[in-house]
Structure 1
Amino acid sequence: MRASKCCQHKFTLIEQLSNELFLEIFDYLNGVDIVYAFSQLNNRFQHLLIKYVNTFDFKSINKVKFDYVTQHHDICQWRSLRLSEDNQTPGQIKLFCQLFPPAQYISQLQSLSILNMKPKCAKEILSQLVSFDYLISLTVTTICGENIQPMTLPSLKRLVFTGCKHNNWIKNFHSLRTLEYTINYTCHHDCVLTLPKRLKHLKLLYNEAKDGNALQTSLSKMSKLTKLALYDNGNYSILPDGKTWEEFIKSSLPLLKTFQFCSYFLNRNALNDINHTMASFSTPFYLVEKRWFTQCDSNNGTSALGAFYTLPFAFRGMRVDMNSCNMSTSTLPATNIDQKQYESSTRVKTQQFDEKCEISCRNFPTSNIVRLVLNNDFPTNWYFLLKNLRHLEFRRNLSMSATDFANVLTNAPQLESLTILISNLIKLTDSFTNKTVCNQLSKRIKSLTISDSLSNHGYDQNMDDSHILTSVVHIFGNKCEHLSLNLTTSPKEVLHILRNMQQLCSLHIHYPPLLCKSHIKTTSWFQESTVEVGASDFVYIPDDFNFHVWFGKRS
């Protein structure tokens, strides 16, 4: 009884807190979580939610929360909205637009993000934004603009998008001042790169070998530019020339205050070229007038491969292409400067290893990496990267052992997402028999993507698809909320997954119909499976050979 009264007293004290304090707390939280936690408590909280909570981010939000928030809040009051349609929230964008036609419900938005949109849906969705007169910031990924007509958004000042070079649809954004543009080169449509002339800030992720000349042409007409960030994500380029850039900036970009870049190079005569490049970026223009400093990382043995970038490193992703990074040189002066400020790499969140690099680069980020992509083996002397790691992706078959993998898991206490080839998973778990590894995965992995076909593992030929799938479900069934995999056996195996993975919020299956041994239509067998296991609340998206499911409440 005494404990009960104590709890009641504490709740009373919480309700006595001022509205101003609650609003201060709300500023640190996503509107989705605020509404889900505080809605329908009492009239006071309901008033605070409707009047002051107007920023909603549905990325990675489960369908239960999505349904609750959209039903218990006034959507017409929202000012900022983010929707996403990846493997964790399949069909979210389409579902929202069906339930709440944008022109009718969200034309008052000042900020809108539409992430992982299917390119074929871009035309339909963007056409509904023509009445968004108050929109200041827009983020769109991914888009092919070939068949999209130019549109007018009179208040738009910031645009972030990933898409092909067909960008004529943005030409009427006359108020646009900030553009972050990632060029999608997988689009089969090609054209000459052009950019708006009135920009003040430009961040471009592109391929220098393909679009370097067109970029120079566009930049020569952007005299109001004050900030320029260029990330060359091509395989390898030649080293830039500081003298050429100095002359170009003086003649065409007189207002430029911030210049950031990163490129990866392959030079046969690299040592001489590196010295020449570093000298060209060491003139008084760079070091004194602009205070723009650069660094070059390379392998002292060959010096053929390397990375050249401005300090501090300005981008969220970094590649390691060298098997050793034992030679780093920079233009930072030895005195009269805060070296820690310029040598910082805190912005780097994604690290990609294309080579097994035994020696790390100088000033490498220590604990900021949240996503690690492995195209090669991961040396033990890089384990310091793993402290805050959440997402681990294996893109190739590696020679890593189960013991090595156990050490990686031990050093990555925050890991919760794994993308892996099935052959790697079989090997790194000793054919699903290594208890240490399997227990770690079972307790921690909330999102699992098996990125190749189960039948193409080529590691343990004694394992058939059914055995592999059963083992995957057994290991990951406790915690896994998001599952993506390839099937080449009967699609009725889905029933086994749904029965034994009660935490699933989303499911993606790639299944070519030509391999199906059953004549039952995919829609029929899936609906039969969901009814049998009590999963009646879901969004089902068939897309070519992919089947996406976003689950709501499950009985």
Structure 2
Amino acid sequence: MSILKLEHLANEILYTIFDYLDGFHLIFAFRGLNSRFTSLINHIHLHINTTHCRKADFNYLFDDIFPFTTNIFSLTISNKHTLGPIEIFLNRHLDLIPHNQLNHLKLIDIDPQALNTFLKTILPKLTYLVSLNITNSITKFRYDLPVETMNVSLPAFKYLSLSIEQNSYYPHVPFFNEHMLMHRMESILSTVTHLSLEYSPRDIVGFTLLFEKLNKIEYLQITLDIDDEVARAIGNPFISNSQLIRDHGQYLRSFIIQIGYHILFIEIAALLTHFPQLQILSLATQEFTHDIQFYDGQAWEKLIQTSLPRLTSLRLYIFVDYLSSNPVLHDIINRFRTSFWLNEKKWYIVGDQFSNRSLQIYTIPCPKKSIVILNNTSIAWDTTLPSINLSTFHCITCLKIYITKIEANPILLPYFNNVKSVRLLTLPSKDYYLSQYINLSTLETVTIEC
């Protein structure tokens, strides 16, 4: 019986195998093994992810790999686990950039000084760049550098993602945030088609300013709120009506929104009327809302029928708290049981009421990264789903859990089979099992906040 060797496989099969490997490990495993493998690696797009590599390995890349390659297509550099890789990249970028048509770049936990160097020195040289992702969880750095607007031309640039966590302890201090970056990068926004601003809330009153530079936007992810003082000064709901947004937002197809506490349904409805071509809408409360119209199925139905005729996908997660009225969950869910919801759109709703003053509703599937509440003392649970099985709630990966020991609860709560992270607001008693509601084998992180 002959033994098949890796070298005997056809090039097409080897390329398929290479697709499963990160470029960093591909180089270490196969480059230099023989002339054929080296040639194959030199003729494919390499996606280098250094997130988990050692600093010594990163030095090796710049000493022995990057100066001699011409096919680095995407690069992810992180200071999260090892301090120094981003600084090495800044100091030695000439070993990489001139001879590689870098299309995609992701920087993780870059500090403000390094960011300033990157924007001034390196970004203008990335003439083939298509996407830039800056992700940062370092929230304690002051950004005392002058906020200069760049004059850069990147003709191929389309995708910009800024995910910078805010420091809630010092909200008025000029910390490193997404708004500063947006201001500095104004000159490259005109070609952007996909923009994601994950953390920094943008005032809905100034939303028009965002579209002054964006005129080809197709995908927008943003958090909207309204400043306390501005809300008091206006007095009434802010009803946007901007021809600039209509003109520059005419290509918007996907709109992903998180809303702050002060935002009202009527304000979101007015904003959405600017985008009749919208096909995908996802809306979630950042913490909670007090506006009962957000869970009014008939209000949503009227808005979609009159202003969003092309909408094919709707994802909602609404947590309502501190209500002055006493809502009846069954009545709320019934407003989503019309022919529009069940037959025409086939959009299904789940509702969970925790008290006379708080409840949550969400669609299945729900918005990505939504944190659904699991409370075994719920007073009501209802859904428009025609049937439920073990995979129904597969889309829910994050839970906030409030579990107490009770003798009996007639409310049958769902089973979540794909939860990756949970936040425990109470510790279950030793004889109470989370496995009644959660597939514990899929859990990756547990945070205790009690």
Q: Is the 8 A contact 1:165 1:192 kept in 2?
A: no
Q: Does the CA-based 8 Å contact 1:119-1:142 persist in structure 2?
A: no
Q: Per-residue CA shift, 1:216-258, capped at 9, x if unaligned?
A: 5543323332111122222454341333333333343332211
Q: 1:171 to 1:51 in 2, by over 3 A?
A: same
Letter of the aligned partner of 2:131 in structure 1?
S
The residue that corresponds to 1:45 in the other structure is 37
Alignment correspondent of 1:381: 433
8 Å CA contact retained: 1:176, 1:199: no
Counterpart position of 2:392: 344
Length, aligned pairs only: 376
* Distance (Å, rounded) in 2 between the aligned partners of 1:184 and 1:210: 15
Counterpart for residue 93 of structure 1: 86
User: Which residue of 248, 251, 255 corresponds with 2:310?
Assistant: 255
1:143-542 residue pairs with structure 2 within 5 A? 147=147, 149=149, 153-163=154-164, 166=179, 167-168=182-183, 169=185, 173-184=189-200, 192-194=206-208, 196=211, 197=249, 198-210=251-263, 215-239=268-292, 240=294, 241-268=296-323, 272=327, 274-299=329-354, 302-320=355-373, 322=375, 324-325=377-378, 327-333=380-386, 344-353=392-401, 355-356=402-403, 362-366=413-417, 368-378=418-428, 380-383=432-435, 384-394=438-448, 396=449, 398=450
Q: CA deviation at 1:287?
A: 2.4
Amino acid at match of 2:433: N
Match of 2:134 in 1: 140
State yes or no: 1:80 paired with 2:74.
yes
Structure 2: distance between partners of 1:55 and 1:291: 39
Which of 77, 101, 107 aligns to 1:114? It is: 107
Distance in structure 1 (CA, Å) of the matches to 2:161 and 2:196: 5
Distance 1:288 1:173, change over 3 A: farther
State the 1:62 CA deviation.
2.8
Q: Quick one: distance in 1 between partners of 2:79 and 2:191? A: 29
Deviation at 1:262, TM superposition (A): 1.0
Counterpart contact for 1:278–1:331, Cα < 8 Å: yes
Distance 1:148 1:330 in 2: 52
Q: Distance in 2 between matches of 1:315 and 1:275?
A: 26
Q: Distance in 1 between matches of 2:116 and 2:270?
A: 29
Q: 1:388 to 1:279 in 2, by over 3 A?
A: closer
CA RMSD of aligned residues (A): 3.8
Change (3 A) 1:280 1:391: same
CA-to-aligned-CA distance 1:460-507 (integer Å, 9 cap, x gap):
xxxxxxxxxxxxxxxxxxxxxxxxxxxxxxxxxxxxxxxxxxxxxxxx
- For residues 158 and 264 of structure 2, the distance between their equivalents in structure 1, rounded to whole angstroms, comes to 25
Change over 3 Å in CA distance of 1:180–1:261 after alignment to 2: farther
Cα distance change, pair 259–317 in 1 and its aligned pair in 2 (3 A): closer
Distance 1:171 1:333 in 2: 50
CA spacing shift, 1:33–1:288, aligned 2, 3 Å = same
More helix by share: 1
Report which structure shows greater RCO (CA 8 Å, sep ≥6): 1
Quote the Cα distance in structure 1 between the aligned partners of 2:321 and 2:48.
45
Q: CA deviation at 1:326?
A: 5.9
Q: Secondary structure at the match of 1:309?
A: strand
The amino acid of 1:25's aligned partner reads: I
Aligned partners of 1:292, 1:392: CA distance in 2, in Å? Answer: 31
Please tell me whether residue 18 in structure 1 is matched to residue 10 in structure 2. yes
SS of residue in 1 equivalent to 2:90: helix
- Contact kept? 2:283, 2:367, Cα under 8 Å: no
Q: 1:349 to 1:331 in 2, by over 3 A?
A: closer
Classify 1:307/1:228 alpha carbon distance in 2 versus 1 (closer, same or farther; 3 Å).
same
- TM-score norm. by structure 1 comes to 0.58
3-state secondary structure, aligned to 2:97: helix
Q: How big is the shift at 1:213?
A: 6.7
* Distance in 2 between residues matched to 1:116 and 1:191, nearest whole Å: 30
Contact 1:325 1:357 in 2 (8 A): no
Instruction: Assess if the C-alpha contact under 8 Å between 2:282 and 2:316 holds in 1.
Output: yes
- Displacement, 1:260? 0.9
Shift of residue 52, structure 1, vs aligned partner: 1.6
Paired with 1:361 and 1:146, the residues of 2 have a C-alpha distance of: 57
Alpha-carbon displacement from aligned partner over 1:181-228 (angstroms, at most 9, x marks no partner)? 31335x9x9983455423222223342525877655543323332111
CA distance in 1, matches of 2:131, 2:414: 34
Work out whether residues 345 and 365 of structure 1, in 8 Å CA contact, stay in contact via their aligned partners in 2.
Answer: yes
For structure 2, the residue ranges without an aligned partner over 5 or more in a row are 138-142, 165-176, 212-248
